[in-house]
Structure 1
Amino acid sequence: MACQGKQSKHVSLAVFVSWFVLLSSCKAAQGSKAEAEALLNWKNSLPADQPILNSWVAQINSTASSPCTWRGIACNDEGSVTEIYFNYTGLKGPALCPIITKRRKAAASNPLQRDKSCQPTIFKLYKLPQPIPAIQSTGNYNFQHCSRSRFLHNISKITDSNRNAWEVKQYYRESTTMSISVPKGLRDSTKGLNTFSPDPHACLIGDVISSTENPCLKLRRSKLRRFKSDSTEKQREARPKTVPWISYRDNQLTGTIPTNIGTLSKLQFLDLSINSLNGSLPLSLANLTQVYELDVSQNKITGQLDSRLFLDGTGKSKTGLISLKNFLLQMNELGGRIPEEIGNLKHLVILALDGNHFLGPIPSSLGNLTNLTTLHLADNQLSGQIPVSIGTLKLREVYLLFNRLSGSVPEEIGNISSLVTLHLAENNFTGHLPQQVCQGGKLVNFSAAFNDFTGPIPVSLKNCRTLYRVRLEHNQLTGYIDQDFGVYPNLTYIDLSYNRLRGKLSANWGESQNLTVLRVAGNMIDGEIPNEIVQLSQMGYLDFSSNQLSGEIPAEIGKLSLLLNLILKDNKLSGKVPVGIGGLSNLVSLDLSLNMLSGPIPYQIGDCLKLQSLSLSKNYLNGTIPYQIGDLVALHDVLDLSFNSLSGEIPAQLGSLRDLANLNLSHNNLNGSIPTSLGDMLGLIGINLSNNNLEGPLPEGKIFHSATLEAFSNNKDLCGEIQGLRPCNASVIKKGGGNKKRKIVIIIVASLVGALLLSFAFVGIFVFIQKKHSRDMLKDKNTSKTENPFLIWYFNGKAVYKDILEASENFDDKYCIGVGASAKVYRVEIPGAQVLAVKKLSSQAEGIGTENIKSFTNELSAMTEIRHRNIVKLLGFCFHEVHTFFIYEFMERGSLADMLSSKGVKELDWETRVRVVKGVAYALSYMHHDCVPPIIHRDISSKNVLLSSDLEAYVSDFGTARFLKPDSSNWTTIAGTYGYFAPELAYTMVVTEKCDVYSFGVLVLEILMGKHPGELITDLHSSVGTSVHLEDVLDDRLSPPTSQKIADELALMVNLAVSCSRANPQSRPTMQSVCQQLEMLQASDN
């Protein structure tokens, strides 16, 4: 990097190296005046704004010219500069270039030429030009060959060179520090340090060169920054203190690693970590046969690991990193396979390759590394199985999480008696966990979460008292939780959620006194919550949800004063909500929903002033709502007390919850009016007060103007501006309590009459039925059979209805091709006509209810408004007291979900998948932007995308569809398919078109990956700067795309999918924007 007049934030490696040359020689005889002049010249080369150098001012008299009083300067007893230090001072600019001599001053007036004078690097010091730029003298001094110098004679041994031998013995710079020591005897030319020159140049190099026989040089070690691996730190602490080493750790170095670094053949330690270096690792590193530690971690290194770096040193070239003990390349951008030749590094102790893009299997040759203790391969794209040979090593740390590893974990892992940390999470492992994983009794950290492990909990874990963190969630592990786990005095975190564990919660958990997180959600655990749980004084997160726990919540639960989250929902807990819960002063989230709790809500809950989310819904709670809940001003997620037996009035104090997003008090026995203070709840985006006995006007407030009728339905007598409610100024005729019931009966009767009228109406049938037998279905007998005869007014509805029943044998299950929550789909082939898909809702005899009727109405309303080539066509419908169904075009290839999981998946080549994505995108864009009002599907998933015989995509199943009305809040209950619906629907209850956009993003990833993306969606958005690589997501059952056009389209679709699946709905693009980007790419390709 050349010297520049402007400020530079990032400094290249070459610039930092220039410090070496800056003070590489100095003339002691010139004295402090010459030193001051040289320092001022150096200051002038820096950007002007340098407050740290304000004290550097030239004085008139020579005595005052001494720089010894300047900041950052230290002198010896004779007044000569011995040290220049600017540690952590924020010195700016690339003026780390050497001060030029008078001989070059004229040339330096040209900035471009000055740049050229700043090119020396630390790796060419044995070829220093003449003259060497000197900080102590601006005179014309030639620094001639130093091979006869006593101290340089010893240094020459480092490079096996007898002349001009300059090489780094030790160089360490940390966090942009700059510290250069000058030996005490610097000015004393009578010491004979350089017997060749009558006017010797002592060397201002301090940390740069050290020699035990060099009186001119002193070795000063800087404190090492701690690396995350304890074993690495121990290795560094054990490093000899006078070995040749270089460290530029934690600066702002840019550029590539110079290839001539390989000339430092005696170098033993090289640390370039925590910088911004790019490019590939130079092959010349293979010449560093004595290097025992190579750390290039946390840079931007790309390319692949060249196998020639790992030669065993026995060939003709006699090269290779054969002495390497610590090889640290984590957090770069390296890719390709890990070479098998890495097994030649016989002395390797630490191998850290995590946080890159390595592909392929773990080399089995790692089993040759008998000294290896630390293996970090996490966060790559490694596949295949764990080599059995790893079980023969003496490993302490094994990090394999966040890869694509599969198969079973070798039982030989249990043979590693020294194992302290084993991380297997976020892979595709199957089979059993190694049963003797803690055989050595030293295991501290163990994770195997988010895999497909089955079978029992490892037997060795029960008595593994060294455990500190355990994560086994989201597997299919079996066993009994009270038998398979013991007492763990050091355990702080354990997550066993979403497995198939049975048994009871043991009282032994109370003895694990350091526990802060205990999660066992989503299992089949029964019995009571042991009282010993309250002894866990450090507990912060307790999650026992979705089990079969019974009995009461421990009365002394309030003793857990540090508890942040208490999640006990979806169990069979009974009794009262304990009063002691008010003692949980740090509680942030409380969820006791879906239990059998009874009695009143304790008013002490108002003491949990940090609560952000409170859900007590679906219990048997009674009494009034405590007004103290209004004190919970931190509530901003949800307050859900629905589906209980609460009575009395809504406390006006709830209006103080101004930041609350969702309020649900529905399905209770609340009476009176809605407090006007609720209009002050400006944060509300979802509200439900339905199914109570409320009356009177709705309060003023945004939510009360924008919510739908559903939010206030089935109350006593509410009025307001919501469509469907009576205006508050309208008169109401009351003739006793029976009037309301009579009104409901009239509405029901009217609905049934309408239903009967519809029972013979088939609207919009365009079925190309060409029957061979004669029926009186056409009013115009002269119509040609080759035309489309069955328009809406051209057929006999009874006849078609009878045909469908006959062809399906009264909807026999043998014709059923799909089953949903409230409907079945049948393949019906009417003789002499095309095949139909008949979607039949559950009949009244089978329990059809208001939800099914609502689904029918939604679908009918949507489908009669839609005409698009990528939306399945509605051919007709029937609403009948016995059979209610829709008639659709039959799609020969079934659903996209079935196709992706079938053996015929290869028919879905990349070009076809691109076409499918576009088809769904165009359909959604049409629904969102071309329909008035817009239509939201709410259940976009692979099972609701159908494929025709030519593999064209058709969006189907509009049973959850909803019109997006601008004058409505569009509040809704959650709908859709798990894994596809937008995350905000779990707490906002407000549907927008961005919900479909999210589902589309998930669907696109599924189409490209060939399977549901699962946790990948979370990973993609988990941290800033996460990059998505095309090869990470493409379905490996297909060969990579060979067409550049298709590859470009796939890359765009991955990016679109990531954008569409953002957690924040406002950050997602519209479907119109998605289509525009797809069309722009297509246009550019054409």
Structure 2
Amino acid sequence: MRLSKGSFRGSHWVFLLSILLRLIFAQGDTNSNDAAALNALASNWQNTPSNWVGFDPCGAKWVGISCNSKNRITSITLSSIGLKGTLSGGDIQNLSELEAIDLSYNPGLTGPLPASIGNLAQLLNLILVGCSFSGEIPAAIGKLSNLKFLSLNSNKFSGSIPATIGNLSQLYWLDLAGNQLTGTIPVSDATNPGLDLLIHTKHFHFGVNQLSGSIPSKLFSPNMTLIHVLFDNNNLNGSIPSTLGLVKTLEVLRLDRNSLTGPVPANLNNLTRLSEIHLANNHLNGTLPDLMGMDSLSFVDMSNNSFDSSTVPLWFSSLPSLTSLYLEYLNIGGVLPQTLFSGSPLQTLRLRNNHFNGTLDIGTDYSNQLQLIDLTNNDINAFTQIGGGYNKQLILIGNPVCNQGNTFPSYCKMTVSAPPSYNTSKKCITLPPTCPSGQTLSPNCQCAYPYSGTLFFRSPSFSDLSNNTYYTQLEQGLKDKFLQYQLPVDSISLQNVFVDAQNNLEMSLGVFPSNKTYFSQVDVTGIGFILSNQTYKPPPTFGPYYFLGQEYSVFIAPAPSAKKSNNLPIIIGAAAGGVVLLVLICLSILIIRRKKTTRLEEKSQSFASWDPKSSGSIPQLKGARMFTFEEIKKCTNNFTETNEVGGGGYGKVYRGTLGNGQLVAVKRAQEGSSQGSHEFRTEIELLQRVHHKNLVTLVGFCFEKGEQMLIYEYVPNGTLKDSLSGKSGVHLDWRRRLRVALGAAKGIAYLHELADPPIVHRDIKSSNVLLDENLNAKVSDFGLSKSLGADGKGQITTQVKGTMGYLDPEYYMTQQLTDKSDVYSFGVLLLELITGKKPLERGRYIVREVKSLLDWSKDLYNLKNLLDPSLELTTLVGGLKQYISLALRCVDESSAERPTMSAVVYEIEKIMRQAGVNPSSASNSSSAVGSTGTPVRHPYESDGPSDYSGDVAYPRIEPK
């Protein structure tokens, strides 16, 4: 076929070249549904990684995103990067191949954990440590049958522990500590699951909550494999169940700081693997537990209980691993055996406020690790000092031995001080350098920005905090683990070691970069992942831990991924070809834009005149008034809170009254708002030259003193979205919805066919349709709008913008904008009007749902379960079939098959007549407030960051 000269216009070349580029790089594209879901999820967040640009997370190697060989997203790991926002349930559930989610150490993440997360059937790890999630932990989490690691500690979750967690048969790690959980610990019954079913789980970490009730006897059984039971710092009562002694795998037991009563079960000494037992600060009674035979015990704390009076137990001298013995405020009496001090690696002996008596003789072969013997307030009357005596900390204050003369030995004086806290030393050979502001000197004497946080060890087996050997082992172990994962770590710093109020060993951690000043975002998420996922196992002396990282806000760009040398010719060829194609595209776009700009300049003089004396270039407009800041300040009563009627990412909206009595809505952008100066000017320029009863009227604007304010007519009855959701109190029956559809259609048709030049709105959605006092529809928000060619039937290449769920898939795929893109969005709006459902909700796309269920031969066309119940459509109503047919024509995948908006107006008018409604009659002027008197939410109040710009994710529409 031969082409005549000039038969291809520039726009055709752009179209063909864009398709060619997509074909070249198609194999690297992320699964479209996954990309759409991730982009939608990211729209709810601030501070996403710097390379989260475009529509190909897998191919572009987005920070924190891992993909499999089929380009499905399998993990999201984004710790410590300062994320803010919420976790959108409708989006997260669409990432159906996710195996790991780690959003730890982002305290700006708030709101509830969506129940739809239970739909992620492949999920293995769900880790949200140190965020600010709140509300109840959803019961749907029990549907994650493959889950192995559930760590929700250090958030603000409330309510009870879901019994459905008992369904997670593969669960290894369960950490719910550090929240505000209440209620009892759930166990199974005839109809419900419970935690007793978790026989493969090794970690029950429930400390620092508000759990109450008794510890169920059924919770423990001999077939369990638990190694950590941490129930400390709660409100648990009742007795310790004897079934606990059946879990012979147990290594750490913390029941301290509760209200437990009764005796300690006699079979507790069956737990021969137990290394730490914490029962302090309860109301336990009966005899002091017998720990004989528990040879692994290193840390014992049973202080502050109500045990019966007893003599020194035999097990005092029979625990070969004992480092720390805390038995304070009890009723123990008798003489301490000398073997207690020499038969074990004892470090700390705290026996204050008991009845120990006789002579204290620690001998000469006492443990060289013994740092403290505290026997304050006992009945000891003598101390034998052999070979110069014990030269560490000995406290005998309050014993008779200190009342035997006027000369008091050191152990009878208040001179004891804690050893200095551990701090990693610097290895500077010469005078250490002075670091720039914000940087810190590393142990290797290099100035850098460290990644910082706090380590919490929940039950270390040692109590000698001055033993540097422990910390140097920890430093080396951490560094080795980071290097094992090829992270650029130079050195580790530990600072300020102490025991906190929850009896955790706490210390500050600093991780310093190697051969650079900053970590990259990839580095930081890698370090955080190792710590949040418990990939690093500390030396056994430290026991279980958790980490809370700080936001790392100073980044360098991620390094480009390495390429294999044998692919070099291909890479060079592809790059060269890509450059040529891009040059051609750029030239074509420049030519098109120049022609278009010339036409638009001839058509519109709205921004032709500027005031050079003002700051920021103020347009002089014919149709809209320019207000001074003082005028707006006065009409809104100095922006008082009582006049505030809405707000969103751009700023706040205030009700105002002009001098002539006209009510207005003042949309005041805040500094750094989501509405930039371009959108601000676009809306002014378009609205001042379009006038229609179904378009919101721009009264004026203010661009003074650094302010960006738009002044609209006041529209009292909120948005269509709020009416459909019930938030506004406005009830819309079938006839009223048809009137709203007709009004919105007329407004859009005016933009397409009567505006000069024609305008594509680009963001038609229910939150941009306002309802006046008579429920007439007014289309609003023109910040994303675009002018088309003079004939109104052309197409332009433009950056894709719109809102997820309403966006035309053909526009996304080709980046060619036409008026049919608005028609598609309006078709989605029509479906939203009769279903009352969001276009994208819980993984369901309304267009696909209607197409898949539709059956013209069945009652209500098989859409009964989709239709809005408030419509009360129990039978077919006039025009419903034609309405659905029109909506589906509007959302046809091919723009050529969609009707024009003028045709849509004509069809809706026919439908209204079939429904017995006169299209030309005035709207029903009855009150728009529901029977409950619910206050109307203001139409300008934002429902969140809904606008997309750049490469936009879009759910692929599967053919029927």
Q: TM-score, normalised by structure 2?
A: 0.37
Q: Which has the larger radius of gyration?
A: 1
Larger relative contact order, structure 1 or 2 (CA cutoff 8 Å, min sep 6): 2
